[in-house]
Structure 1
Amino acid sequence: MTTKRGSWTRRSVAFIGALTFVGIITVSTEQARPAATKLGQLIGVVPTDQRLASIADAIAVSRRLPSAKDIAFAYQAAQRQPLSAPPFFIVAATRAPAAVVNARTLNALALRRDPRLAPAWAWQVADRAKANDAAAATRALIRLAVLNRESSAIWQAIAQVSADPVARKEIKAEIARGAAWRDTYLTALSSSNVDRAIVFEMLESSGKHAPVTNIAPPGAPDDRRAFLAQMIRQRDYERAYLAWIQWLPDASQKAVGRVFDGAFTGAAALPPFAWELADGAGGTTSMTAGAGLTVDYSGSDGSILAKQMLLLPPGRYRIVTQAKFDPVSNENGAAPLIWAVTCASGGTALNELPVPLDGTARRVSGTPFAVAAGCEAQTLSLKVNSADFAKHLSGAIRSVAIEAVQ
């Protein structure tokens, strides 16, 4: 119960803080206000609409009760002008806290009469936040931004409340319905101090990509490698991938898939979501367009010849590969050369597929395997198994893929 109450408090503070962050809301400039005549100004008579707008503005800007005289004036105006919106808002906003249900009804009547009445939307933001209704508070805050000509501060406030998952869901739903303000919101969000993971989530869900400058300072490949390595150490795999894919050269975009460059064309990209090849003790591994991944290895010790990180969502998959290698015997029952998939965190083995070593070009498929929800990232490796006697592996792998299965 304490945790839930704390969550409500933080959410309410976030939305109320958003209104404070907005500052002075120029609410009634959207409404036509008949000006007082010179005679009226001389004798101190202000038109009803103008006076009601001023009272509504004062409530929205200062969030304090108007004078008893102004409240009485609003009550009288509501009786005389039942189709006018401001009196209903003023009466709603000045109701005692114990009468909040009645206040909500009156505010709804004000918005029904004038959906552009910004003070009523501002009141609804505060009321819904206090009631822990983040979805309704978010919708009201968006209406405020849309209604206001000088709305940059309000969009910054909406960016801040995007830290709430319920608010994000509401924003995504409105964007999916074709909201005209999508780019305005995303620009405000990208320039805000909201956690980058949330920025990436909202950008990706709307079909846009964050500029690299919003992920890490532009720099040399080594700087980017260090950034990606840090994210991987923190198990922030999605953030690392989003940064990686935005640094991907245009010519390499077509190589993106469950396995990057599974045809071994040599597409340029940074590790760990691209191939890392071993070249040194025991032999060489290289990539040549048209030939694939060529291997020339001799030895008896185990070794990883190539690897890359994957981000497979939970589901069932199988490894598929096409290769041609010189014939190699298999004395101890362990396949000399295999593709292996493991969970990146913990190294739990998920599946293995022996590479055919019989002198013919063949395509082989592995048995289905499952990726569980807790396995957020995986490693695909081409491994040489240790053997009692040295073996010579010579050939090429034309392709490797991870296919989804039912």
Structure 2
Amino acid sequence: MQQRNLLYSSATRWVLAGALVVATGWASLSHVYRRAHRKIDAVTIVLGEDPAILRTRLVDLNGGLAIRLDAAERARLYSRLTSKPLDGTAFALLALDATAKGDKVRAAKLVEHSLALEPRTRLAWLWRLDQQMRNGRTVEAANSAIRLLAVDPEQYQSYVPILAGLARDRRNIPQIATALQGNPGWREPFLSTLQSRGFDPGIRFAIMDTGKSNVSTIDRERAAFVADLIAKTDYERAYLAWISYLPESALASVDTPYDARFRGMPGPPPFNWQLTAADGDRAEANNGLDLSYSGRKPATLASQVVVLQPGDYRLRSVVANASSDGPSNSGASLTWRASCLPGNQPLGELALNTSATGKPQLSAPFRVPEATCPAVLLSLGGTASEFPVRLDARIASVQFEQVAADTGAPPSQAANPTSAIPSPKPSVLP
């Protein structure tokens, strides 16, 4: 008894192929076959049980989802209503027949009556959704799509892309976010659809920000969102999203780089420190960066992505103390390096003098170019010696210091990453 399922699947196809092209520009999804229902209903009685015939009956006609019934089929339908006057699907079939005749006023009344009798009549909801999308009534359409997800959850793979398209209308975000919050099984495919189909990242951001889930889910979604933006080299938006997730207490002390004094500030990489603890090398933030470098092979001990406005900079760092189990001229060393992303083009570096403790050390000035450097990777690397020599050190701080281009003199304040971009509020992600 597949015809009922095929009807709803085919109806979904027409909604996607017709109304979605009009309302959202989406292409048709593949035809989805659903599990057969054993129930004998109006669809079976009126149209018969041959799925091949059924697939040819649904048409996009007179600006709506329609099906042409002949006189014998109408007679069977009215006979059905004589014995089952509360059959919502029967009235929905009459509505599709009225649409085929061009009488959408009557069709709308029949759909309304169908849903009054049986609020879970899927065919009626599909007709209503199709009409709402064709006529640009996107807020009503979002409500209908949510209702379809509720009454026909097995078809969520067809309805979720429709709902994602309707999220382009920002008025729909609160009701969509609420629906996703109450139905976690829809949330992941919905967000995946936004990501895979190239929607404006601001829509995904707003949905995640409005509809709260459990903490682990939120953290995972946020990390994936930032990672997707970085993969597209949209570092500015990635940084704005990342910083908007920080607690209010952290926003008052944003340095360049973030957590410049290694206090263990909240927030994950890449806009916070990625610290190494492997192969005999260790870096820990403890109101300063405690390092233990084995000197056996080159290693990156700490790194962070920073968004800087174009201009001239130099690195400033303070080594609080350092010690080594070998001679001072062994060759093992620590160096801060700044490079452009993407591509890792070198910008500048500061080789730390581990003997000059407690004093600021400055790199030579370097320039962040305007068009080719959307972000900077700051990393602390260890350079191996010919014979392994362990180097232990504590770095008190590191900062980007902006330099006046004409004189080479530093301004009064360190570089501010937010000076290049708008205030980090959720609303800046359009």
* TM-score scaled by length of structure 2: 0.49
Gaps of 5+ in 2: 1-17, 60-64, 212-217, 263-271, 274-303, 317-348, 351-359, 364-392
SS in structure 1 opposite 2:190? helix
Gaps of 5+ in 1: 1-9, 35-46, 218-223, 232-236, 247-251, 311-341, 346-370, 378-406
Match of 2:28 among 2, 7, 21: 21
CA contact under 8 A between 2:244 and 2:424: conserved in structure 1? no
Note the 1:214-293 alignment, pairs <5 A: 214-217=228-231, 227=233, 231=235, 237-242=236-241, 256-260=250-254, 264-266=260-262, 268=273, 269-272=304-307, 278-279=315-316, 284=361
RMSD: 5.0
- Can you list the C-alpha shifts for 1:238-290, whole angstroms capped at 9, x where unaligned? 344336899xxxxx99995244357742362321279x864499x7469x989
SS in structure 2 opposite 1:270? strand
Note closer, same or farther for the CA distance 1:291–1:179 as it changes in structure 2 (3 Å cut): closer
CA contact under 8 A between 2:260 and 2:398: conserved in structure 1? yes
CA contact under 8 A between 1:27 and 1:148: conserved in structure 2? no
Match of 1:137 among 135, 141, 144: 141
| Counterpart for residue 410 of structure 2 | 303
Note the 1:6-405 alignment, pairs <5 A: 13-15=21-23, 21-24=28-31, 26=33, 29=36, 31-34=37-40, 50-52=44-46, 61-62=58-59, 63-69=65-71, 70-96=73-99, 99-146=103-150, 147-177=152-182, 180-206=185-211, 207=218, 208-209=221-222, 211=224, 214-217=228-231, 227=233, 231=235, 237-242=236-241, 256-260=250-254, 264-266=260-262, 268=273, 269-272=304-307, 278-279=315-316, 284=361, 302-304=409-411, 306-310=414-418, 344=421
Matched positions, count: 274
Residue 141 of structure 1 deviates from its aligned partner by 2.3
In 1, the alpha carbon distance for the partners of 2:179 and 2:57 equals 25
SS in structure 1 opposite 2:28? helix
Amino acid at match of 1:33: K
CA contact under 8 A between 1:156 and 1:188: conserved in structure 2? yes
| Counterpart for residue 299 of structure 2 | none
CA contact under 8 A between 1:60 and 1:119: conserved in structure 2? no
CA contact under 8 A between 1:145 and 1:151: conserved in structure 2? yes
Note closer, same or farther for the CA distance 1:87–1:122 as it changes in structure 2 (3 Å cut): same
In 2, the alpha carbon distance for the partners of 1:265 and 1:215 equals 27
CA contact under 8 A between 1:21 and 1:157: conserved in structure 2? no
Percent identity for Structure 1 against Structure 2: 14
In 2, the alpha carbon distance for the partners of 1:343 and 1:294 equals 16
In 2, the alpha carbon distance for the partners of 1:80 and 1:16 equals 41
In 1, the alpha carbon distance for the partners of 2:205 and 2:193 equals 13
Amino acid at match of 1:242: A
CA contact under 8 A between 1:12 and 1:132: conserved in structure 2? no
Note closer, same or farther for the CA distance 1:81–1:101 as it changes in structure 2 (3 Å cut): same
In 2, the alpha carbon distance for the partners of 1:86 and 1:16 equals 28
Amino acid at match of 1:93: L
CA contact under 8 A between 2:29 and 2:158: conserved in structure 1? yes
In 1, the alpha carbon distance for the partners of 2:55 and 2:82 equals 22
Residue 119 of structure 1 deviates from its aligned partner by 1.6
| Counterpart for residue 353 of structure 1 | none
